[in-house]
Structure formats: C-alpha cells, structure tokens
Amino acid sequence: MNLSEKGQSPLFFLVGPTAVGKTALALDWAEAHGAEILSCDAFCVYSGMDVGTAKPTAEEQKRVRHHGIDVVSADTPYSVAGYTQLALAVAKDVLSRGRHLLVAGGSGFYLKSFFSAVVDKVAVSAEIRERVGYLLETEGLAGAVEELHRLNPSGLGSLDIRNPRRVARALERCLASGRTLGELEGAFAREESAFAGWAKDVTLLERPRAELHERIARRTREMLDAGLIEEVRALIDEGIRENPTASRAIGYRETLAYLDGTLDRADLEETINRNTRRLLRKQETWFRTQIPVDRRLFPAPGANPFPSA
C-alpha cells in the first residue's frame, strides 16, 4: 500500500507545452495550498543551465520549496531512471509530512514515468558497452545490425536500423539479457510504473498556437538579453559538450553552434524560435496521446487548476 492509497493527498500535475505558463501558475497554486513543487523538466536537473531552461529563479524557489532542480552538473548525463528514483523519494517524503506535491513541467518521458514504465530493468555492463562500441567502430552500423539479426532470428520488429544509437542500445540489451528483442518487449509491456496505484490529478495547460508562438519569441529575446550566450560560454568550461543530452537542449545547441562559428549571430534568435516551435508541435501531439488528462485549462490570472483540492 502506498501513501496515496492511505487517503492522503493525490499527486497533482500541472503540465503543458513550452512557454504555456506553467511556472507562474504552479507557484501561485503551491503557495496558496501549502504545496511543494517537483520539477518535471529534463534540463532543469542540470546546475548552471538556468537562463536557457527558464528555470525558477532563486526568488521563486524561496517562495515555494522545489525539488528536481540542480541535481547534477551539466557535464554529467542524467536519465529518466534516475529521475524516477528521485521523484519516488520526494513524493514519499512530501506526502508523509502532510503536504501536497505538485509535479510541474513538460518533459515527455519524465512525465510519462509517473503513469507507465518507460525504461526496462536490463542492466548493461561497461564491458558490453565497450564491446558494442568496438563493433560499431570496426564494422560500422551494418556489422551491428548483422549481429542483431543473428541474435534475433525472428526479426527486429520496428527497430530503426538506420539509427546507430538505437541499434547499439538494442544490441546491448540483447547481449546483457540473453533475450531477443521480442522477448524484451513482452517483458517490458508487463512492467508497471513506480507510481502504479498512486492517486493522480492532472491539469493540462493550453493556449492558441499563435499565442504560444508569440510567447516563445518573447522568451527567446528575454533569454538572450539575460545572458544566454554568456551562460553557454561558462558551461563549455564546465564540460557541457561531454553531455550529449544537455548540449542538445534547445537554446544551448544553437548557442554552441554560434560560438563555434557555424551559425551567424543574426540567425541565432530565429533558429532558437524555429526549433522551439517544432518542439511545441511534438509536445502538443504527445500530450494528446501519452498521458491521462483530467482537465484542460487556459492559464488566466487567478485560475484554479485543481478546483477540488
């Protein structure tokens, strides 16, 4: 039996696409209801990535206690598996103290981890990773795909065999588990989220597409004015390039390209906007299909995202 099954508070979720206004509404509601906030943002976990992630400011974090922010340095990869462990520990602690927990953010797999399993339990050793890396280096993608076919005589299913990262991941899991991809997929389908059985209340924030585009453009200008370029320069010294996840974040990858001389300063702002709009389209589709939503809300001043709380 978990905490929410004992009649305590459900987990409250305030989710939505980029620039929709989650931070302001989350702060107001949490402050009014004695709640703490768990960030559900795959880039706010990195210290030093402040301006480009629109991370809650120090003043905002003083208003309401936050979790899931500045968890690791920018040169250290962080996974959804690590986030799930952190989220479970935070949820148990906050609810045990009789407080509400508001999960706020829009990172897809981080959010989905509350509702279904998103990673399998196959442990891949460093030896296997090196073995697969060596195979890719010496025999290329074709050699890795050939090895996968040998281990999977019934076929590779829907695996994208043109994607080296996915092929490597699939081969590592087959070698580590001794199972075929089909067997691994079947086992994964039977796994549950770490939060299976927890009561959840989900509000999705929405705005018209044109309004979101305006908010994205305004936020990009504000980030550049607030020192995004200087922030990225500092992060280079801290090793952000060693972390493929952090260095590919929108706002950071474009600024890195500018600092490397492959993107003109005049094109930087619009390139960030264009890539953010593409992310917005993906997020809108994702929220329609991947998580259960209890209500949709236009975030107007004074709006209550959880009327029954």
Q: Which residues pair with 103 in a beta bridge?
A: 13, 38
Segment 11-23, tens digit of pLDDT:
999 999 999 999 9
What is the pLDDT at residue 193? 87
Topology alike, domains 3-117+193-297 and 126-189: no
With a cut of 70, say whether residue 7 has pLDDT above it. Answer: no
Arch. (CATH architecture) of 126-189: Orthogonal Bundle (1.10)
Give me the torsion for CA of 278, 296, 98, 58, rounded to 10°: 40
Measured between alpha carbons, how far is 157 from 84 in angstroms, rounded to an integer? 28
pLDDT tier, 1 (very low <50, low <70, confident <90, very high otherwise): very low
pTM of the model as a whole: 0.85
Which residues have a Cβ under 8 Å from the Cβ of 18 and sit 6 or more positions away?
A: 106, 212, 216, 276, 279, 280, 283
**Superfamily of structural domain 3-117+193-297:** P-loop containing nucleotide triphosphate hydrolases (3.40.50.300)
Amino acid at 307: P
The mean pLDDT of 216-238, rounded to a whole number, is 98
Residue ranges per structural domain of the chain? 3-117+193-297, 126-189
pLDDT digits (tens, 9 = 90+) for 228-263: 999 999 999 999 999 999 999 999 999 999 999 999
Band of residue 3 on the pLDDT scale cut at 50, 70, 90: very low
- The residue-averaged pLDDT of 170-195 equals 88
